[in-house]
């Protein structure tokens, strides 16, 4: 299939389509549009779009059907899901089904551009990884998978259940690789409640883009890793051990674990 545009936006609201086109043009992305699920499936069956921005609620179906179609056709576009009906269930289902990000409407210019930036970086990493396989060359270590027994929410965040019932959560290395170099971190506070699928951490990169990490689990923060406050680069150097973010007492871990993915599985 040929690439006719960098991005396919799937949305039944012309104002949203127009906004995405204008916003993405700021970073020199070309955009095509599809006003419903049927039109979107017709387009992805004929053309390849590296990045897809897809609304969940549409007149002839939902965005999850698009995710299913991409999976069935083995199409590896990076999908960003959006919706005005923002619920935790929509967010976690989107990421569980293969979307790389979820942003609620109305989104800001920076929220969309930063999400598209990560999607584009994800594509670059994936294509580089694929080229190693095609050349039968030794794989360069482009990112580190989270360890066995960890669970992840999409490719962004992870959790690990401790023996005392508390949970450590942190940032996946692949997510960090898509934002490049960390400059600063904005953390939630001790005793603060966090929710699965809702932002619990903001990372500002050296290019001044700010990226939000969605929490893999709900609960109350009982400890914040003080080391990353003074040394933010620790989450890049050791994201799965010394670079953990919070220790949390989970609210409903057995239910929420159903929406997470075993970290032993390959992302790319």
Domain's final residue, options 134, 167, 202: 134
Alpha-carbon separation of residue 126 from 19, 123, 153 (angstroms): 28, 5, 19
**Tokens 């390959």 label which residue?**
266
Alpha-carbon separation of residue 50 from 18, 185, 223, 234 (angstroms): 19, 29, 39, 31
Q: Name the residue range of residue 176's domain.
A: 151-262
Within this chain, do residues 213 and 96 fall inside the same structural domain, yes or no? no
Within this chain, do residues 237 and 190 fall inside the same structural domain, yes or no? yes
Q: Which residues are CB-neighbours of 149 under 8 A, at least 6 positions away?
A: 160, 263
Within this chain, do residues 64 and 104 fall inside the same structural domain, yes or no? yes
Q: Using CA atoms, how far apart are residues 121 and 102, in angstroms rounded to an integer? A: 16
| Total of domains in the chain | 2
| Six token digits for residue 62 | 């939902």
Within this chain, do residues 129 and 12 fall inside the same structural domain, yes or no? yes
The CATH code of the domain that includes 11 is: 3.40.50.2300
**How many degrees, rounded to 5, is the angle at CA 198 between CA 194 and CA 200?**
55
Tens-binned pLDDT, residue by residue, of the chain (268 aa): 677 899 999 999 999 999 999 999 999 999 999 999 999 999 999 999 999 999 998 889 889 999 999 999 999 999 999 987 767 788 888 899 999 999 988 899 999 999 999 999 999 998 887 776 555 555 567 888 899 899 999 999 999 999 999 999 999 999 999 998 999 999 999 999 999 999 999 999 999 999 999 999 999 999 999 999 889 999 999 999 999 999 999 999 999 999 899 987 555 5
Q: Which residues are CB-neighbours of 16 under 8 A, at least 6 positions away?
A: 9, 55, 82, 105
- Give yes or no for a contact between 169 and 201, defined as CB atoms under 8 angstroms apart: no
Within this chain, do residues 128 and 167 fall inside the same structural domain, yes or no? no
With respect to residue 117, please indicate whether it lies within any of the assigned structural domains. Answer: yes
């Amino acid at each position: 299939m040929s690439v006719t545009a960098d991005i396919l936006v799937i949305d039944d609201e012309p104002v949203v389509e127009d906004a995405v086109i204008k916003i993405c043009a700021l970073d020199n992305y070309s955009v095509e549009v599809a006003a419903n699920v049927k039109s979107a499936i017709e387009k992805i069956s004929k053309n390849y779009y590296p990045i897809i921005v897809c609304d969940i609620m549409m007149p002839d179906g939902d965005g999850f059907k698009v995710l299913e179609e991409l999976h069935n056709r083995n199409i590896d576009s990076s999908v960003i899901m959006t919706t005005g009906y923002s619920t935790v269930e929509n967010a976690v289902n989107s990421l569980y089904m293969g979307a790389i990000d979820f942003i609620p409407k109305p989104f800001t210019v920076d929220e969309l551009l930063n999400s598209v930036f990560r999607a584009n970086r994800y594509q670059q990493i994936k294509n580089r990884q694929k080229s190693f396989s095609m050349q039968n060359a030794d794989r360069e270590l482009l990112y580190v998978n989270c360890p066995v027994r960890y669970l992840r929410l999409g490719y962004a965040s992870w959790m690990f259940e401790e023996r005392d019932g508390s949970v450590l959560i942190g940032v996946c290395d692949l997510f960090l690789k898509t934002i490049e170099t960390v400059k600063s971190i904005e953390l939630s506070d001790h005793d603060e409640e966090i929710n699965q699928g809702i932002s619990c951490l903001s990372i500002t990169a050296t290019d001044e883009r700010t990226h939000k990490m969605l929490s893999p689990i709900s609960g109350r923060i009982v400890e914040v890793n003080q080391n990353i406050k003074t040394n933010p680069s620790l989450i890049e150097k050791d994201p799965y051990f010394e670079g953990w973010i919070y220790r949390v007492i989970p609210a409903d871990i057995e239910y929420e674990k159903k929406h997470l993915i075993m970290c032993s599985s390959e992302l790319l």
